[in-house]
Amino acid sequence: MVHELFPYLHVADGAAAIRFYEEAFGARELFRLTEPPTGRLGHAELDFGGTTLMVSDEYPECGIHGPRPGNPTSVSLHIHVDNADAVIARALALGATLEREAQDQFFGERSGVVRDPFGHRWNIGHSIEQVEPQEMQRRYDALMAQGG
C-alpha cells in the first residue's frame, strides 16, 4: 500500500536549485545532507505547500544525471499557486525559460509552462473555475476536434 509519493529531482547544482525553488516558487528547505569536504549535495528535502520535493546533485558514478536544459524531458511537475502569471514572471526573472505563456485552459485553470535552469519542466497554474469531469471531457473533445 502506498502512503506517499515524493518527486526526487537530480540536478547539476543542488545548492543553486534549492535557492531557485525557494525564490521562484516559495519552497522552504527542510534539511540537506552534504558530502565533506566537497560539499556535494547528497540529499535535500523542500516543502512545497505540504508536499515534499527531494533534490540531489548528480552522481554520474551511480548513473544519476539531471536533465540538460534544452533537451527533452519526460516528466513535468505541476504546481498550483495563488497567481500563475506572477510565479511564472518570477521564475523567468530568476533564469527559467518559457515554454508556454500562461493562458486560460479548458479544464478550469490558468497555467503556463517553464523549464527551470536545471532542465526540469514546471506547469504552473491557478484555478479559475471548477469543471466537472464530464464537462472537461466535452471541452477536451471540442478542442481535439479543432485540431488541439
Q: What is the pLDDT of residues 17-28, one digit of tens each?
A: 999 999 999 999
- The fraction of the chain above a pLDDT of 70, given in percent, is 100
Please, what is the average pLDDT of the chain? 96
- The fraction of the chain above a pLDDT of 90, given in percent, is 93
Domains in the chain, CATH or no CATH each: 1-66 (3.30.720.120), 70-148 (3.10.180.10)
| CB contact at 8 A, 39 and 50 | no
Q: What is the pLDDT of residues 60-101, one digit of tens each?
A: 999 999 998 778 889 999 999 999 999 999 999 999 999 999
- Does pLDDT of 148 surpass 80? no
Give the residue-averaged pLDDT of 110-131. 97
Output the DSSP codes for 14-30. Answer: HHHHHHHHHHHH--EEE
What burial class does residue 128 get, using C-beta atoms within 10 Å of its C-beta: 0-12 exposed, 13-18 middle, 19+ buried?
middle
Q: How many CA atoms lie within 13 A of 104 on its CB side?
A: 6
Question: Residues of 77-116 as b/e, b for ≥16 C-beta within 10 angstroms?
Answer: bebebeebbebbbbbeebbbeeeeebeebebbbbbbbbbb
